[in-house]
């Protein structure tokens, strides 16, 4: 009898241990917003850029967004540069996908390869900056309304050209633009710039040259000098690192330029009158913040225009002497408000 009792007690003990062990195992989460994290609980994010950091423009702005997220959101971040080598686009994206939960991709050059890689890593989230891909569930796109920002830049350029308070070197109102390459995003800058200039002065002439490169300051300088030689006295650069050559040309011929993507007046405050800025850093930071909060809509397109603080015009820091007048800045701000309210509809080309 004692042996039988002992046997029953042993079986009950074993069963109780099994039930306790099962109770400790939690069912896997089915929340589609969950993102894997490392042992410390930090979200791993990789930034992959087609070119390289140090352009003081597009790529540096994207890195600023990653750095902001590292500081304020506690993520783990890594940058992978492709240095404009097409053979690295796929390799760097795959490496980023292997080491990170979220991959931020910067550069129109990735348009085809990101679609292929994203399908190989369906559990990873991809944020494609400044381009749009549709139909891939784990690719979310950030699309900037650069036409709205360049409308402001064009309006400012038309006000500044020939203004006697600035220089007034040419009799004919003529402004210019140097684009990195003839691609949809740059054409969207162009159409907004022309529309803004003609909004202020219907008779202004707008000259554009595409340098054919985003990484060659020598081509930027050559293009800008050609524009200045045609009577243009202010050139808007939409060419990344190539645009640094535009600034050099402006300085050499004692003319003016407008920067892009970030506030670039610090590069040469005597030649750069203002910059059309894109909220690249802001949009990357906000996207990562949405992911952490579970509010991120994967596979969608987030638009960043004037109303979303995605584009604007910057005039440098307070310690910099302004080249343009206070009245011009006031008029630019008035035009910005009209775009916000819909009184002005800005054309687009993408």
Residues 107 and 234 in one domain: no
| pLDDT value for 20 | 39
Residues 83 and 186 in one domain: no
- Nearest alpha-carbon partner for 280 in 107, 159, 156, 155: 107
| pLDDT value for 14 | 42
Domain of 50, CATH number, reads 3.40.50.2300
Q: Are 48 and 103 in contact (CB under 8 A)?
A: yes
Phi, then psi, of 148 in degrees rounded to 5: -70, -45
Q: In this model, does residue 8 exceed pLDDT 60?
A: no
Is residue 26 domain-resident? no
Residues 197 and 124 in one domain: no
Residues 236 and 326 in one domain: yes
| pLDDT value for 165 | 57
- Nearest alpha-carbon partner for 51 in 280, 285, 240, 279: 240
Residues 89 and 137 in one domain: yes
| pLDDT value for 167 | 57
Q: What is the Cα Rg of the chain in Å? A: 26
Residues 87 and 165 in one domain: no
Residues 215 and 326 in one domain: yes
Please tell me the distance from the alpha carbon of residue 145 to that of residue 73, in angstroms, as a whole number. 27
Residues 186 and 127 in one domain: no
Please tell me the distance from the alpha carbon of residue 303 to that of residue 310, in angstroms, as a whole number. 8
Is residue 29 domain-resident? no
Please tell me the distance from the alpha carbon of residue 279 to that of residue 129, in angstroms, as a whole number. 11
Residues 259 and 152 in one domain: yes
Q: Are 129 and 106 in contact (CB under 8 A)?
A: yes
| pLDDT value for 228 | 97
Is residue 297 domain-resident? yes
Q: What are the residue ranges of helices labelled H in 25-110?
A: 58-73, 86-99
Record the tokens describing residue 96, joined without a space. 């980023």
Is residue 96 domain-resident? yes
Q: In this model, does residue 39 exceed pLDDT 70?
A: no
Is residue 73 domain-resident? yes
Q: Could you tell me which residues come within 8 angstroms of residue 240 by beta carbon, excluding any fewer than 6 positions away?
A: 51, 55, 57, 58, 59, 180, 214, 215, 261
Lowest mean pLDDT: which of 26-30, 152-156, 260-264?
Answer: 26-30
Burial of 34 (0-12, 13-18, 19+ CB in 10 A): exposed
Is residue 152 domain-resident? yes
Domain count, the chain: 2
- Residues of the chain above pLDDT 90, percent: 82
Record the tokens describing residue 267, joined without a space. 């590069």
Is residue 10 domain-resident? no
Residues 252 and 290 in one domain: no
Q: What would the pLDDT profile of 296-348 be if each residue is shown by its tens digit? A: 999 999 999 999 999 999 999 999 999 999 999 999 999 999 999 999 999 99
Is residue 127 domain-resident? yes
Residues 183 and 128 in one domain: no
| pLDDT value for 172 | 78
For residue 286, the enclosing domain spans 44-144+281-307
Q: The pTM is what?
A: 0.84
Residues 322 and 190 in one domain: yes
């Amino acid at each position: 009898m004692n042996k039988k009792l002992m046997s029953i007690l042993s079986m009950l003990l074993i069963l109780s241990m099994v039930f306790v062990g099962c109770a400790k195992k939690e069912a896997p989460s089915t929340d589609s917003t969950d993102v894997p994290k490392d042992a410390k609980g930090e979200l791993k994010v990789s930034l992959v850029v087609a070119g390289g950091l140090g352009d003081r423009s597009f790529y540096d702005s994207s890195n600023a967004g990653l750095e902001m997220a590292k500081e304020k959101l506690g993520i783990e971040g890594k940058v992978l540069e492709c240095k404009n080598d097409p053979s690295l686009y796929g390799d760097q994206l795959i490496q980023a996908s292997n080491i990170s939960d979220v991959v931020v991709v910067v550069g129109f050059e990735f348009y085809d390869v990101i679609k292929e890689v994203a399908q190989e890593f369906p559990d990873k989230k991809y944020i494609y900056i400044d381009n749009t891909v549709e139909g891939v569930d784990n690719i979310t796109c950030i699309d900037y309304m650069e036409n709205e920002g360049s409308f402001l830049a064009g309006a400012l350029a038309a006000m500044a050209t020939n203004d006697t308070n600035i220089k007034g070197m040419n009799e004919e109102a003529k402004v210019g633009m140097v684009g990195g390459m003839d691609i949809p995003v740059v054409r969207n800058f162009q159409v907004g710039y022309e529309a803004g200039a003609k909004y202020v002065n219907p008779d202004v002439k707008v000259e554009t040259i595409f340098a054919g490169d985003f990484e060659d300051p020598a081509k930027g300088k050559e293009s800008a000098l050609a524009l200045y030689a045609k009577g243009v006295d202010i050139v808007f650069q939409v060419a990344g690192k190539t645009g640094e050559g535009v600034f050099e040309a402006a300085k050499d011929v004692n003319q003016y330029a407008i920067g892009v993507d970030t506030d670039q007046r610090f590069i040469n405050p005597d030649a750069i009158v203002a910059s059309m800025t894109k909220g690249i850093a802001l949009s990357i930071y906000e996207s990562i913040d949405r992911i952490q909060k579970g509010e991120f809509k994967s596979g969608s397109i987030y638009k960043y225009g004037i109303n979303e603080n995605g584009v604007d015009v910057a005039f440098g820091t307070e310690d910099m002497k302004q080249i343009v007048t206070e009245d011009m800045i006031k008029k630019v701000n008035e035009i910005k408000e009209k775009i916000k309210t819909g009184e002005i509809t800005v054309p687009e080309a993408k």
